[in-house]
């Protein structure tokens, strides 16, 4: 079966760092689930991205993307609150899969745990809460190593 491949480009994403990977054979669409890293048939037409957010890629480019989960991960840092400077910098990550959004924070028990905080912490406006600072994987890894003494925490 021959497939056409597409990446979803949304917000600050690029073809090298897309937000989703899709493939199509005829009228049959599938997406790569970032939750289990497997292809799933499109059961709900509502999650099919708007055509303007889709960009075609070659089968080789799609294979390279599928081999590198890290390209789909987004990271943020939450620096300590000035009122509590001894608290560690928190590291957040997100995998925005078409079937669900996975949001995690590297927690006190030294593992990734689910969170719902990312959207709240990104909200702009007059508030007392600090905002998340966008990060790359390497910086997130260094922060976890510095704050927790753990190496390899950002590997997917």
Domain boundaries, the chain: 4-67, 71-148
Tally Cβ neighbours within 10 Å of residue 130.
12
**pLDDT, mean of each 10-residue run, the chain (156 residues):** 88 72 94 92 87 92 92 90 85 89 90 84 56 91 95 94
Instruction: Look at residue 23 in the predicted model and tell me its pLDDT.
Output: 96
- pTM for the model: 0.82
Of the candidates 117, 105, 86, which has an alpha carbon nearest to the alpha carbon of residue 144? 105
Instruction: Look at residue 86 in the predicted model and tell me its pLDDT.
Output: 85
Instruction: Look at residue 66 in the predicted model and tell me its pLDDT.
Output: 92
Tally Cβ neighbours within 10 Å of residue 75.
22
């Amino acid at each position: 079966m021959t497939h056409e491949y597409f990446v979803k480009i949304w917000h600050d994403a690029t073809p090298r760092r897309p937000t989703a990977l899709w493939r199509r054979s005829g009228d049959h669409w599938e997406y790569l689930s970032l939750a289990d890293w497997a292809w799933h048939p499109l059961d709900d037409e509502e999650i099919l991205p708007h055509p303007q957010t889709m960009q075609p890629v070659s089968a080789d480019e799609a294979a390279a993307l599928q081999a590198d989960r890290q390209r789909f991960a987004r990271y943020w840092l939450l620096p300590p609150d000035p009122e509590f400077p001894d608290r560690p910098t928190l590291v957040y990550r997100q995998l925005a899969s078409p079937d669900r959004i996975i949001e995690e924070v590297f927690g006190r028990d030294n593992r990734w745990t689910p969170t719902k905080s990312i959207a709240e912490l990104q909200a702009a406006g007059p508030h007392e809460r600090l905002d998340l600072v966008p990060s790359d994987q390497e910086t997130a890894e260094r922060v976890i190593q510095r704050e927790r003494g753990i190496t390899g925490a950002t590997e997917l």
